[in-house]
Structures are given as C-alpha cells and as structure tokens.
Amino acid sequence: MSLYAAYAGHLDARLMSRRVPHSPLRATGWLTGWRLTFGGEHIGWDGALATVVESPGSQVFVALYEVAPMDEDTLDRSVGAAGLDAYRRFRIRAHTLDGEEPAWTYVLNGYEGGLPSARYLGEIADAAESAGAPHDYVMELRKRPC
C-alpha cells in the first residue's frame, strides 16, 4: 500500500471511507515547507481548485491514508488526475508524531491564482476540522478570501 497525504476535502474521513473503502486513515500530520493555495480557476466549475506549493516556513495539515491498489484509480478519478489531467501525483514527506513519512499527494497542473467559491472553502475548512486540525488552522481557512 502507498501512503497518500490528503489536504483539502479528502481530510474528511467519512468521505474517504465511501470513496476509497479499502484505504484506512493511518495518521494526521503536516507538510512542512508547503502552503495551501488555489489555482486552475478555468478548470473548476466552482472557482479555483485547492493545491499545495512549496513555501519555506509554511505548513499544510494532512491526513495520511494507506491507499490500497484497488482504490488508486477511484482516487485519481475523484480529483481529476485520470482523464482530465487536472492534478498529478507528487512525492513528498509528511511529518507525523511518529516522524517523517514518505508519501504522495496531488498537485494542480496549473498556475497558482484565482479564488475558490465560498462553498468549496467551507467544505475544506469543515473537512480539516473533522480531521482534528488545530483551531487556528481551521480559522485561517474560514477567513480566506473567496
């Protein structure tokens, strides 16, 4: 099984248990040296899409899932990495209470810029809250422009 670092709506364990039922949540942690941003406004039907970019001094809260091979295609399709080519897989290192873990995440195939819809941003904040993200992280998400 490969380890997937989820950072936006995929932080919601209930959503993921329906979407990739053979892929359990293993831990939560941080992508250190990365920040959450938005881009590809022309791709999304509801504003700009979430992505991560390298940014020294920043962090992104993540949920780490052990993705079973039988769930990989479903996960790729759910983010537009299969067929639409909206996202690509990218190897990263996630920091957990157990140490550093090699993992992969999705990075947008497009330029940073544009605003997400209020609905989409709210879903991301709700997912982060349900995953146990710190209160200040969730509040920063809720205060972002949309």
Residue-wise pLDDT for 92-133, tens only, equals: 999 999 999 999 999 999 889 999 999 999 999 999 999 999
Query: Is residue 65 marked as binding?
Result: no
Which residue shows structure tokens 């995440």? 105
Query: What pLDDT is attached to residue 82?
Result: 57
Q: Domains plus CATH for the chain?
A: 1-140 (3.10.490.10)
Query: What pLDDT is attached to residue 78?
Result: 85
Q: Does 41 have pLDDT greater than 90?
A: no
Query: What pLDDT is attached to residue 43?
Result: 77
pTM of the model: 0.93
Which residue shows structure tokens 């091979």? 69
Cα–Cα distance for residue pair 146/117, rounded to 1 Å: 5
User: Can you state the percent helix, strand and coil of the chain, rounding each to 5?
Assistant: 30, 40, 30
Cα–Cα distance for residue pair 10/126, rounded to 1 Å: 11
